[in-house]
Amino acid sequence: MTQKMAAQWRSRERNYPEEFESWHLERVTVENEDYHPLKPIMVTESKTKKVGRKESTSSSSSSCSSNSVADPLSSVLDGTDPLSLFAATAEPVASNVDGKRKKNENEEYVGSDFEPWSSKRGEILARYTTTEKLSINLFMGSDRGKTTNAGSAVSEKVRTRLEELDDLEEGSQKELLNLTQQDYISRIEELNQSLKDAWASDQKVKALKIVIQCSKLLSDTTVIQFYPSKFVLITDILDTFGKLVYERISSMCLDSRSSLPENFSPETVNDTAKETCLNWFFKIASIRELVPRFYVEAAILKCNKFLSKTGISESLPRLTTMIRGIGDPLVAVYARAYLCRVGMEVAPNVKESLNRNFFDFLLTFKLIHSDTVQNQLAVQAVEIPVYLTLYSPAIDWMLRCIAYRAPETLLTEMMERCKKQGNNALLLNSVMSAFRADFIATRSMDFIGMIKECDEAGFPKHLLFRSLGLNLALADPPENDRLQILNEAWKVITKLRNPQDYINCSEVWVEYTCRHFTKREVNTILADIIKHMTPDRAFEDAYQQLQSVITKVITHFQDFSVLFSVEKFLPFLDMFQKESVRVEVCKCIMEAFIRHQQEVTKDPVILNALLHVCKTMHDSVNALTLEDEKRTLANLINGFIRMVSFGRDFEQQLSFYVETRSMFCNLEPVLIQLIHSVNHLAMETKKVMKGNHSRKTASFVRACVAFSFITIPSLTSIFTRLNLYLLSGQVALANQCLSQADAFFKAAVSLVPDVPKTISIDGKMRSSEPFLLEFLGNFFSTLLVVPDHPEQGVLFLVRGLLNVIEDYTWEDNSDDKVRIYTSVLHLLAALSQESYLLHVDKVDSNDNLYGGDTKFLAEINRLCDTLIGQILEHLKTLGKEKTLKRQSYLALLFFNSILAHGDLRNNKLNQLAVNLWNLAQRHGFADTKTMVKTLEYIKKKSKESEWSHFSDLAARLPLQSRT
């Protein structure tokens, strides 16, 4: 039966121009000119206050014309804008709450532009470290007071609590000695957790004891270099305690409210909450030592809001005065920093207290040079410059709080006070770090004058110039002063003998130079850096700063022809001799080039420099390089390749691609890009010659084709090779290189048997059949226009590919082979037409070669017979294996192929179609909706004269119910 049916295949004749014409959409005139699907809908603001559907507002009804199409939102919400309705139903914002908020918002509220303490925390912990041994006192707990009866008098409770606080002096703590820095940090974290655990278990007195004990540690300066880090760790515990106390009292005020409003008044706080709050302040007032009493009260400063409106503003001056009793200037300055920190969180509008706090520090600043401090430093063998740097975090923070949104006049006042302190370098540095960059920039020459008069013994001048440079990188100084500023700064920087100090400063001033000067000045700076960093290979310890210099230079010099004309730029790159760093710098340069280069280039300076950069990246690839890193490097190199163009000099362009292929042979994505680029070059040649190649251009195109043919086998991905063989063959065919095209297609055919069953995609193994199916579909489509070789048989490429498909080992339970055969039937039907649907310019396809020869058509029909036999055999096999759903699907697929491409006037082919239709729905697995629509299509086509034979077919196609 199979052979009998197969022998009757006939392809229907196609008139492609008429079919194209019939596919055009019919023009329809829109009667309502006011309506257009892209016309915006007018929405008016609703005056409705409640969401309802009873009646719409007059404004809504008047806005809609009678002939407009209804807005779907309007149909639900009576024509009103839903946002207006939601806004109308929302609770009105109280306009009388804190009326000064809008007026003085910039002064009273800390915005996102204020750098929080948390951003400084990590920097301090990383910078201030020690290798010396540390000690800590751990709270051990006490059993005193546990036998007190429930009926004890109030005075007895108070006495008991005071005795519990006195346990700290009576042996309830354990001193741990010889701790490393990491051990110390771990112990502090344990105390922080103990505080939370004690609070959660309602042991409030124990929690307070832990906080007092930790606060006492801030009086200890035995390992003075570690003090800033100790301050950060201890104040974390204080912050936790302050938050716990505030939340505890706040929860007492809730009553029926879910949360306490931010702007609550003390009058709304109940008596229980106030009593609890006072109790906490009374407990803290009983602490005997000044430092813990100050820190613990400052930690709960925000709780004053529960007692009175002026509680915080009254407490701040008192706490500021308390700090005057702390004798050690380092301990005192950090206490002031903590008070500023808390003050900015709870009362940023009380600037007077913040200013007074800092001015008190200035009055006691001379204590830094007192005999007591000098003796302490001598005992610990700490030098004055190192000791002064310990003050920087605290002073910087205080000034940052004071300078936040402060007027420019405050900077003038601070500069005057610095002068009264003898232009102390430490203070001057903090002032430049705290105030706005534009304020500093406009006074650049004044600051340079003050820096010159500073005493360099305690705080080096180059650090001051570095701080000034950081400001000038953000804001521009007066134009007339720019050159003088650079000269004054560089006079100091270039004299530095310590390479690390030198590079730290020059790194900052490179950006200033790039912003305001030309490549000549930048070249001078780079030359000076090379001069200082090359001796003794000092650059090896400064890769991070040198990388920052490169980044700043390429950020400001976006014209790469200018950048690479800077004489010392490439010698500067040579200092990056550590491969990983060198590759990162090269990646940075290439990213900037791809981002900023707007037009293609052939500038030899740019090409030579970037080829050197790309070669450096490529040569770093080895067997251990990760795939993601290879992909990143390849993308950067490909971006460079795409930006190179020699215009109409195609031979030079091909020479460039040949050179880059030899340079980047280890990166497969680059080779793929080169093949695409060369194929594009061949097509550009055809475009320029308008398809009429001369002897010279024909030879050039063959050279391009040869480039691709030689390069493709070096690729590892088999599907990449297959697709590139097909694409390159199409390019060769388009350029009338018929023998080369045949070579590409034969190479693709011979490669198909090597396709593995699974391939790796994104690290996961997947079946390769879907990809193979897609490739073969594209391949067979291309073969429509490929002419037969005169020395080969009819359709030799189609036959060769079908033989490979027949021998290929397909997956079990796979129908892909039949799907391919069905697609080949479509190809053979197209090949049997007198004139093909597609043609390649100046290439005679088989329709011109054979001219509808009967032997050629008979050969096509014989091939079709064989394929139909294979398909029917597969359908029979599916029936035996009880895979009926697959059988139904494939039968309908084959039926549709016959319907579209077969000549159903042939009775045997017509009967085969009917049999397939019945087979598709025999076992109830067919999609009824699809079957119905297919039958409706056949009936509709049968009404046309040339499709009248479909009426007989439609009568023979029953629709069976699923039951």
Give the pLDDT confidence of 300-315 residue by residue, as tens digits: 998 988 888 888 888 8
pLDDT in tens, 771-813: 999 999 999 999 999 999 888 888 999 999 999 999 998 888 8
Residue type, position 911, single letter: Q
Stretch among 496-510, 549-563, 833-847 having the lowest mean pLDDT? 833-847
pLDDT class for 69, splitting at 50, 70, 90? very low
> Is pLDDT at 211 greater than 50 in this prediction?
yes
CA angle 555, 559, 565 (to 5 degrees): 105
pLDDT confidence of residue 15: 80
Query: β-strands 758-761, 173-179: how paired?
Result: unpaired
Higher pLDDT, 859 or 2: 859
Position 397 pLDDT exceeds 70:
yes
Per-residue pLDDT of 691-716, as tens digits, reads: 899 999 999 999 999 999 999 999 99
The Cα diameter of the chain in Å comes to 122
Ranges 72-86, 410-424, 718-732, 803-817, most confident:
718-732
The answer to whether residues 315 and 352 touch, using CB atoms and an 8 Å cutoff, is: no
Q: Which of 36-40, 240-244, 437-441 has the lowest mean pLDDT?
A: 36-40
The pLDDT of residue 146: 42
Rounded Cα gap, residues 787 and 737, in angstroms: 12
Whose structure tokens read 């730290």? Answer: 504
Looking at residue 241, its pLDDT comes to 93
- Whether the CB-CB separation of 636 and 614 falls below 8 Å is answered with yes
Model confidence at 90, pLDDT cuts 50, 70, 90, reads very low
Which of the four pLDDT bands, split at 50, 70 and 90, describes residue 587? very high
The residues, any chain, with a CB within 8 Å of residue 581's CB and separated by 6 or more, are 543, 547
Q: Which residues pair with 173 in a beta bridge?
A: 139
For 115-124, 351-360, 385-394, 801-810, which range has the lowest pLDDT when averaged over its residues?
351-360
| Cβ contact 459:426 at 8 Å | yes
Confidence of residue 870 (pLDDT cuts 50, 70, 90): very high
SS in 3 state form for 337-356? HHHHHHHHHHCCCCHHHHHH
* Separation CA 658–CA 651 (nearest Å): 11
Q: Pull the structure tokens for residue 801.
A: 């590919």
What does the pLDDT read at residue 961? 67
Tokens of 787: 């002419």
pLDDT tens digit sequence for 436-477: 999 999 999 999 999 988 876 667 888 899 999 999 999 999
Q: Which contacts qualify for 120-124: CB closer than 8 Å, 24 or more apart?
A: 120/393, 120/397, 121/232, 124/228, 124/229, 124/231, 124/232, 124/393
Determine the average pLDDT of the residues in 99-125. 67
Work out the angle at residue 190's Cα, subtended by the Cα atoms of residues 185 and 195, and round it to the nearest 5 degrees: 125
Q: How far apart are CA 142 and CA 601, in angstroms?
A: 80
Non-local (6+) Cβ contacts of 86 within 8 A are none
Please answer whether residues 664 and 670 qualify as being in contact, where contact means their C-beta atoms are separated by less than 8 angstroms. yes
pLDDT above 90: residue 43: no
Cα 300–chain centre separation? 40
Percent of the chain with pLDDT over 90: 51
Task: Quote the CA–CA distance of 917 and 898 in Å, as a whole number.
Answer: 11
Six token digits for residue 662: 């030899």
What is the mean pLDDT of the segment spanning 602-607? 94
Element (DSSP H or E) covering residue 137: strand 134-139
Confidence (pLDDT) at 654: 96
| Residues contacting residue 801 through CB under 8 Å, at least 6 positions apart | 749, 752, 776, 779, 780, 783
Predicted local distance difference test score (pLDDT) of residue 152: 43
The answer to whether residues 513 and 471 touch, using CB atoms and an 8 Å cutoff, is no
Please say if the pLDDT value at position 345 is more than 50. Answer: yes
Could you tell me if 426 and 395 are in contact, meaning their C-beta atoms sit under 8 angstroms apart? Answer: yes
Length of the chain equals 963
Mean pLDDT, rounded, for 807-822: 90
> In terms of Cα–Cα distance, which of 894, 800, 789, 900 is closest to 849?
789
Q: Strands 758-761, 134-139: parallel, antiparallel or unpaired by DSSP?
A: unpaired
Q: Which own/partner contact pairs does 353-359 have at CB distance under 8 Å and 24+ positions apart?
A: 353/313, 353/316, 353/317, 353/320, 354/398, 354/401, 354/402, 355/402, 356/317, 356/320, 357/320, 357/323, 357/398, 358/398, 358/399, 358/402, 359/417
Q: How confident is the model at residue 104 (pLDDT cuts 50, 70, 90)?
A: very low
Residue-wise pLDDT for 401-434, tens only, equals: 888 888 888 899 888 888 887 768 888 888 998 9
pLDDT in tens, 572-584: 999 999 999 999 9
Specify the pLDDT at position 837.
Answer: 87
pLDDT in tens, 932-947: 999 999 999 899 888 8
CA angle 11, 15, 21 (to 5 degrees): 140
Q: What radius of gyration do the chain's Cα atoms show?
A: 43
If you average pLDDT over every residue of the chain, what do you get? 84
Enumerate residues 6+ apart whose C-beta is below 8 A from 814: 769
CB 955 within 8 A of CB 938: no
Evaluate if residue 289 carries a pLDDT over 50: yes
Nearest to 572 by CA among 512, 522, 502: 522
Q: Does the structure show a pLDDT above 60 at 78?
A: no
Whole-number percent of the chain with pLDDT over 70 = 85
**Taking the CB of residue 598, how many other CB atoms lie within 10 A of it?**
8
Alpha carbons 450 and 442: distance in angstroms, whole number: 14
Task: Answer whether residue 853 shows pLDDT above 60.
Answer: yes
Least confident of 478-492, 771-785, 848-862: 848-862
